[in-house]
Structure 1
């Protein structure tokens, strides 16, 4: 007689789901992920059966999911001895609390930004900026392009045989906005039109390498009181406000999508073999639409645009420290690039830093 249940028979997927408080849909997913395999699958119907002895593991999985733990990490915890599993859960929860504190700071920032009142007409804001691009210590050539002007800030990271001319063409196509009229309420439309010109410029610059060449692009267009953001790829834009650092772009990468889906932890993503694989970029062979939106600015804000040659080797905590301690944009730019090179400089690294400063009309 089997010892799977009091009656000697395994539990059906429905009965097992009810007993462990996991849905049949979740159980099927965990089977596919090798997280919770059924004890037997009917060869004719494909129906899944589970042993009573599997309930303990299933309930642990259900509890960990209620904690919000990603599936990849749950698999690791379930493979540990109870005492080691307890330690791993304690470590995970400490990370959750730290991330919750960071999200709390972000929420406070958003509330402050969305609740901001209009400034007096006599108050003017302007940018003070610096841009620099460096080959790094490993790459034979620099395929990055960095630019900073009175209105436009931009970083592009080219790839493929024509990476350098493609990234340069993308930024050059946006530079017309540095001197263009910016009609009130039309900035986003103007930027969308400019993005079409950028796409054409990228295609022309790729000449013969359309299937392999492309570039990321992260740019901010200054309107006098707000910044319009255009972003595609894994270059980044950060905002330093009141000593707190916020990343205001999302990486368009395979590993970031896996993190968002709970299939990877940020720690796993850092060493994942596909961590540099882009989901979206400006490329003649696979046209994609950048993210475009408006960003309110406040006096004292410091913005950083950078290629992944910085963000992949210098952690955000270090970036925040360097941005906070540098007295001026040019000092910040060169200090950040030096930090990337001190960390090995495995890639080209480009940085643009801009400060939002307040002036009074007539002074």
Structure 2
């Protein structure tokens, strides 16, 4: 038997931590002196104690540690792998948000103007004469597909805003339409003062309220949108609609699906191939609904001349392989022709769902 002090030293857990784990029924002492209350531990408990110590060092919550520590080694390894995959996913989201903030604050510091293009802050003295500017050439279209009786998608493209929403439930169509309508104030010539991050978060809050107003608890919607700031595209994303960037011939997915299956892939519980046939393949983990406020993914993308962006519902991405999407986007056609080609391709693949696409090109224009 080891005293609590000796056991603490051997296990790299403090006596205070050992007392807490005793209270939580996570690591009970082998014997407690009935007169003094002093705790004694068996040498055989060191392996469990060291596992608890290492799991605490990677930040695992005590409730999960209790579950993992009770499993056989192979099952425990699987749980640890899944836990760490979740941490990496959450860290990636926080990293994107940190990068968003750094880019925004750097831009405001350099120019004296918020990165969203609003007029807050002192004007700059830079002449725009003969300066090459960027603008979007865009087109949006939504199609019912070959199977569904009605279209619950909404697609929109404007001078500043590109958006796709995929509604679900009895009032899915009004829900998706309301979500996109709630973002259209971003099209205004003068954006509200304040940074683009707050602007987008407020817009999503407004979209959530709009969905609640028109659909109550009867429906919800995904929402993926890009806001043009003049040199960048700010992304806001909730659900499993997607945004892609075609640059220099390569197609890049710039959103992360908020689905139960994608979470299982992230946690190492499924492979991408296994996910295709999973019975919960279309079950959303996050969406705009009345029941839960959405925490959207937010990113900021620098735009380059020649970039082509695609925002689409899963009616395209689930049935048309990315290689084929890349080929259609790279065909050198105008945005409207590219959109119709993508929709036609989804319908040729069976059109099992509504399909919506927005294509926008970043082009140079003389100021």
Task: Give the alignment's TM-score, normalised by structure 1.
Answer: 0.67
Q: Is 1:319 the counterpart of 2:328 in the alignment?
A: no
Matched with 2:168 is 159
| Higher mean C-alpha deviation, range 119-128 or range 221-230 | 119-128
| Alpha carbons 1:239, 1:248 under 8 Å: kept | yes
* TM-superposed deviation, 1:183: 5.8
Correspondence 1:262 to 2:268: yes
Q: Contact 2:179–2:223 (CA<8 Å) still a contact in 1? A: yes
- Give the C-alpha shift of residue 30 in structure 1: 11
Q: Please list, as runs of the form range in 1=range in 2, the aligned pairs for 1:54-133 lying within 5 A after superposition.
A: 121=128, 122-133=131-142
How large is the Cα RMSD of the aligned pairs?
A: 3.5
Contact 1:220-1:227 at 8 Å conserved across structures = yes
Aligned partners of 2:183 and 2:69: how far apart in 1? 47
Of 286, 289, 296, the residue aligned with 2:295 is 289
1:167-215: CA deviation from partner (whole Å, max 9, x where unpaired): 0000011111112413676222222222222111111110xxx334100
Distance 1:345 1:327 in 2: 23
Taking structure 1 as reference, are residues 223 and 264 closer, same or farther at Cα in structure 2, changes over 3 Å only?
same
Question: Counterpart of 2:362?
Answer: 356
Confirm or deny that 1:134 pairs with 2:134: no
Matched, 1:346 2:355: no
**Residues 30 and 37 of structure 1 are in contact (CA less than 8 Å); yes or no, is this contact kept in structure 2?**
no
Superposition map of 1:181-220 within 5 A: 181-182=190-191, 186-206=195-215, 210-220=216-226
Q: CA 1:339–1:14 in structure 2 vs 1: closer, same or farther (change >3 Å)? A: farther
Runs of 4+ in structure 1 off by over 4 angstroms are 12-15, 28-32, 34-38, 117-121
Q: Deviations over 1:94-142 (max 9, x none)?
A: xxxxxxxxxxxxxxxx9xxx9xx99995121000000000000000000
1:325 aligned counterpart, secondary structure: coil
The count of aligned residue pairs is 275
Shift of 1:235: 0.2
Contact 2:136 2:360 in 1 (8 A): yes
Q: Does residue 333 of structure 1 match 2:319?
A: no
Structure 1 position 278 matched with structure 2 position 291: no
